[in-house]
């Protein structure tokens, strides 16, 4: 249970950083790519909370993993288009990768126990 709380905190930290970084996106992208990224982060938060509360976690964790992968792709696209400076991309991506590793461990433990 402690691990599950840690991943929730990591998601919060990543979202806080992400919202600050998105504020610096060009105005033309505020309601396009930035909105897609925000939605992706919000879904990650929802799936994390749902997985903590549900008895059967596997499908919810898989959906969480899909959102994490989508966020990585959005971040790479933002960086490639020049909306995200290299340092911000590096920090944000590292947070997303760390969440992915923790999520992978959580998925592995759920698969082992089932």
According to DSSP, residue 54 is labeled -
**Is residue 19 within 8 Å of residue 49, measured between CB atoms?**
no
Of the candidate ranges 3-7, 19-23, 87-91, the one whose mean pLDDT is the lowest:
3-7
- Best CA proximity match to 41, nearest among 101, 4, 5, 95: 95
Quote the number of domains for the chain.
1
Token pair recorded at residue 62: 């898989």
Give 105 or 113, the one with higher predicted confidence: 105
Structural domain range at position 35: 2-113
pTM above 0.95, yes or no: no
For the segment 24-71, what is each residue's pLDDT rounded down to a tens digit?
999 988 889 999 999 999 999 999 999 999 888 999 999 999 999 999
CATH number at residue 41: 1.20.1440.60
């Amino acid at each position: 249970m402690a691990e599950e709380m840690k991943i929730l905190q990591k998601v919060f930290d990543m979202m806080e950083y992400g919202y600050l970084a998105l504020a610096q996106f060009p105005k033309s992208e505020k309601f396009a790519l930035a909105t897609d990224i925000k939605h992706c982060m919000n879904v990650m938060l929802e799936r994390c909370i749902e997985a903590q509360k549900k008895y059967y976690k596997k499908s919810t964790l898989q959906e969480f993993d899909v959102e994490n992968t989508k966020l990585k792709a959005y971040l790479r696209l933002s960086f490639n288009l020049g909306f995200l400076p290299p340092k911000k991309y590096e920090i944000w991506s590292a947070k997303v990768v760390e969440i992915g590793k923790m999520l992978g461990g959580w998925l592995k433990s759920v698969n082992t126990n089932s």
